Amino acid sequence: MHQLTDVEKRLLALHYVLPIPMNRLENLYKIDPELVDFQNYSVEELVRILRITLPNAVKLKMKLQQSRTTPYEELYKRHEITPIPFTNPLYPSHLLSLFDPPTVLYMKGDIHILSEKYKIAIIGSRKATDYSKQALKLIVPPLVENNVVIVSGLAKGADTMAHKAAISYGGKTIAVLGHGLFHMYPAENRQLAEEMADTQLLITEYPPYVTPERWTFPNRNRIISGLSDAVIVTEAADRSGTMSTVEHALENGKEVYAVPGSVTSELSGGPNKLIDEGARPLWSGYQVIDALTFIHT
C-alpha cells in the first residue's frame, strides 16, 4: 500500500464511520485541519460542525469510541484494498472540481490504471439490447488502440457490455461501484467483478462494509463522469439513471456522445433526445479519439 500521512490515517478512521463527501467536512477542516481533536468532540459539537442530526451525532460518537483501536491499514492490506484520501497525490484531480468530491476512494486492482491520460465513460440502460453490443464493436477498438480507459458502473446491460468489450479487445477498464468492496452487485456480475479486481480496477467512495442501497447508485454517477474526459451513451430511456450521469457530465463541461437509434425503440429515446439537444452523434470510436487529441493539446 502507498504511504499515508498521519492526518490521512485519522481521516480514514473518521470516514469509516462517517462516509460523507468532502464538502460536508469543510467546517471540520477549518477548525481541526490535522484531525487531532474530532475523537473528543461532544455530541453537540458534532451536530454543529458536521451539520448532522442529534441522533446521528450520538451514533457517530459511539462509533468513534468503539473504533479507536481498529487497525484500518491492516484491514485494507489484508483485503488488498487501497484507500486514496482526497489529500493524497494519487487522488484524481478531475474529481476535486465536483461540488461534492468523494472524501476517500477505495480501490481494488491495478491502481496504475487511474493515472492513464485518457478515460471515457460508456453508459446506458440495464436493459440494453444487442444493438449496444454491436455499437461497441465500432466504438471500443479504436479507444483501446489509443490507450483510452473505459469507465462504467458494473450494472447489468450497457455497463457490463462496456467493461467486457474493453477487456476482450485487450484494453483497460474501471468500474465505479455504488457500494463497498465487501459486497458485489449485481450477483450475476460477481465473476466479472472478481476478474476486474485482479487485472482491471474497481473504485468506490464507500467503506468496504457499505451495502448496495437505492440512493448509493445515483451518487456514484458523478464519479463516473468526473473521472472521464467524455461520456458515451449507447441505449437509454428518456428518463433514466443514465441521464443523471449525463447531467453531471454537462454540469462539469464534459463532451457527451450519443449513439443514434431507431425512432421506434424506447431505448433510443434518451440518445436521440441528447443529440437533438446538442450531444454529438457517435458511430465510430475514432470520432472520440480526434476530440481527445484536441482537448489535450
Q: Where are the domains of the chain?
A: 6-80, 110-295
Predicted confidence at residue 73, as pLDDT, reads 85
List beta partners, residue 201.
109, 174
CATH architecture of 110-295: 3-Layer(aba) Sandwich (3.40)
Predicted confidence at residue 294, as pLDDT, reads 59
| Exposure string for 78-116, b = 16+ CB within 10 A, e = fewer | eeebbbbbbebeebbebbeebeebbbbbbbbbebebbee
Q: In the numeric block, which cell numbers belong to residue 46? A: 458534532
Predicted confidence at residue 297, as pLDDT, reads 52
Q: HSE, CB side, 13 Å, CA atoms: give it for residue 189.
A: 23
From residue 16, give the alpha-carbon distance in Å to each of 33, 46, 206, 260.
Answer: 18, 16, 8, 43
Could you give the dihedral angle defined by the CA atoms of residues 256, 218, 242 and 167, in that order, rounded to the nearest 10 degrees?
80
Amino acid 124 reads G
pTM to 2 decimal places:
0.94
Could you give the dihedral angle defined by the CA atoms of residues 44, 46, 50 and 52, in that order, rounded to the nearest 10 degrees?
-60
Cβ atoms of 117 and 140 closer than 8 Å: no
Please name the residue that has the C-alpha cell 477487456.
167
Cβ atoms of 157 and 125 closer than 8 Å: yes
Residuewise pLDDT in 10s, the chain (297 residues): 568 899 999 999 999 999 999 999 999 999 999 999 988 899 999 999 998 999 999 999 999 888 878 888 888 999 999 999 999 999 999 999 999 999 999 999 999 999 999 999 999 999 999 999 999 999 999 999 999 999 999 999 999 999 999 999 999 999 999 999 999 999 999 999 999 999 999 999 999 999 999 888 888 999 999 999 999 999 999 877 788 889 888 888 899 999 999 999 999 999 999 999 999 999 999 999 988 875 655
CA distance 119 to 133: 20
Cβ atoms of 287 and 280 closer than 8 Å: yes
Predicted confidence at residue 248, as pLDDT, reads 87
The dihedral region occupied by 239, where left means phi > 0, alpha psi between -120 and 50, and beta the remainder, is beta
Please name the residue that has the C-alpha cell 484520501.
85
**Alpha-helix runs per DSSP H in the chain:** 6-17, 26-31, 43-50, 54-66, 72-78, 130-145, 158-168, 190-199, 216-227, 241-251, 269-276, 285-295
